[in-house]
Amino acid sequence: MRLERAAEQSLPLAPEPDLLAAPLVGGMAGTLGSVEAARMVSRLPYGLCSLDVHGRVGFVNAAASDLLGVPANRLLGAHLWASVPWLNDPVYEDRYRAALFSQHVTSFVALRPPNEWLSFRLYPSTTGLSVRISRARAVTEMNRTAPRPGRATARLVTITQVLGLAGALTETVGVQDVVQLVADEVAPAVGSQGLVVLGSRAGRLRVLGHRGYRDPRVVERYDGMPLSEPTPGSQVLRTGVPAFFENRADAERLYPALLTNPSEFSAWAYLPLIASGRPVGTCVLSYAAAHHFATEERAVLTSLAGLIAQALERAVLYDAKHRLAHGLQEALLPHTLPSLAGIEAAARYLPATQGMEIGGDFYDLVPTQGMAAAVIGDVQGHNVTAAGLMGQVRTAVRAYTAVGQAPEEVMRSTNRLLLDLGSELFASCLYMRLDPAHGRAVMSRAGHPPPLLRRPDGRVRVLDLAGGPLLGIDGSAAYPSTEVDLSPGSLLVLYTDGLVESPGTDFEDALADLCRRLTELGDLPLDDLADALVRPGADAEGRLDDIAVLLIRALPADG
């Protein structure tokens, strides 16, 4: 009969529940027991259905089909929230995931259009969920009554606001960006006066950010608290189930420890931030006065939490990569410059403010026998790969300097190294051998901006040195060297292109402006001069490129 009906109506044939595989019921074994179990389920006045770990319906009784308003053959094998149009809301899918993750019984109510409320109770196990569906009569009657005097209507976020928030969250970068956006956009929209965003690390709560608390200690005492402590923040983070406290008495009833913790707020919404099927944090919205959380408001808040969770997951990952990148770069660049006879040196480095804020700019000052070697360069790119290659280039230059290679040989050897590494990245470089005792410097250049020389009388000259192409392009390239007079009091300025290049600015004009500033400021102490030269880049809202500056001043014989 079932096969004939499916053929006549051109409907897909879903599998029958395996009644023969059912356990013994009431002491009756085999087919008789299974059939009696099916009859018993069909007589129940409420709906029953079974969902697997992916949310697909494996069993549904006739009462559940009637309550949901969807034929059983359309439910079997499909996702419940996809088959029932009015359940197609992220908040309901979040409840399913929360129950499955926490392995705690979870319930919620949903409005079946036009005006019938249904109650869903989810009983989880490691293989899926059993769902009981019934009419939520208490909710229906409550919604029929007029609102109580003095109770304000819940402020629900509009679809336009949700879309705007979703777009803004995709543009957040770090965790603090997410916290600030939620404080500026979400909290005011839902009438909240305080915000706390919690995360976890190594089994302990971490306060990722907070806003609106006059006394920060009220929040910060939770930082580092074990997740096993009985607090609403840790409970929601562990279970993935939201918690709403309409007044302080509600919270203290479940968490007596709160009695000893004074707070300026009287109501709270603890929202689990679930991304990729796991809790990544808890968003706590705090209200200055007692606050009634209507069913619709709870659904909206839970949906907003899903958007926040995705942004927070990305932000946590970004911050971790950011710390790794900066740790790598700090390890690769010299922490201090050596003190060398006859010269004074200072250096500054500013990363780009876009991307990972890490790049391939590098500098170094290397002592040699009776002399010194200085190098500055720029590896293409602003990422960990560029920084790693920069470290290899800097180490190679030091090694070639240690074995006594001349400047042109150092450049040729470094060029061959880049080609042998096969990195497909290029690098510009300027290398010089300093001989302050004889007042000279020998330089070799590979596609790098020309250095500046400020004479003791204050005149500034652009050293247009002969040179070769960028490193890593041509294995047969030559890098001729040039000798420059470096009398006592002379100042050499080595820099990367980030100091003089910016969108809409001509390179020649920027270089002329740098020369003018060097003429005016060149008598400053070297550290002050270095700060002054990079200050325009430091004050800019967005740096597209890194900036590195290395200043070397020749001292008088008695200096």
What span, in angstroms and rounded, lies between the C-alpha atoms of 348 and 158?
Answer: 49
Superfamily grouping for domain 159-326: GAF domain (3.30.450.40)
Parallel, antiparallel, or unpaired for β 204-211 and 194-201?
antiparallel
pLDDT of residue 131: 92
- Check whether 413 has a pLDDT greater than 90: yes
Kindly report, residue by residue over 115-152, the tens digit of the pLDDT. Answer: 888 888 899 888 888 999 988 765 544 444 434 444 44
pLDDT above 90 covers a percentage of the chain that reads 31
Parallel, antiparallel, or unpaired for β 57-60 and 106-112?
unpaired
pLDDT of residue 153: 39
Ranking 149-153, 431-435, 517-521 by mean pLDDT, the lowest is 149-153
pLDDT of residue 31: 53
Identical fold between 44-144 and 159-326: yes
Which DSSP letter does residue 86 get?
G
pLDDT of residue 259: 62
Extents of the domains making up the chain: 44-144, 159-326, 333-554
- Check whether 483 has a pLDDT greater than 90: yes
Kindly report the pTM of this predicted structure.
0.55
pLDDT of residue 552: 95
CB atoms within 10 A of CB 142: 12
pLDDT of residue 210: 93
- Check whether 33 has a pLDDT greater than 60: no
- Check whether 5 has a pLDDT greater than 60: no
Q: What is the mean pLDDT of residues 478-500?
A: 92
Q: Which amino acid is at 511?
A: L
Ranking 324-328, 492-496, 497-501 by mean pLDDT, the lowest is 324-328
Q: What is the mean pLDDT of residues 160-171?
A: 70
What span, in angstroms and rounded, lies between the C-alpha atoms of 349 and 330?
Answer: 11
pLDDT of residue 357: 56
What span, in angstroms and rounded, lies between the C-alpha atoms of 196 and 43?
Answer: 49
- Check whether 389 has a pLDDT greater than 90: no
- For domain 333-554, which architecture applies? 4-Layer Sandwich (3.60)
Asked if CATH classification 3.30.450.20 holds for the domain at 44-144, the reply, yes or no, is: yes
Ranking 280-289, 485-494, 505-514 by mean pLDDT, the lowest is 505-514
- Check whether 361 has a pLDDT greater than 90: no
- Check whether 78 has a pLDDT greater than 80: yes
pLDDT of residue 544: 66
- Check whether 432 has a pLDDT greater than 70: yes
CB proximity list for 388: less than 8 A, separation 6 or greater: 328
Ranking 115-129, 245-259, 284-298, 353-367 by mean pLDDT, the lowest is 353-367
pLDDT of residue 422: 84
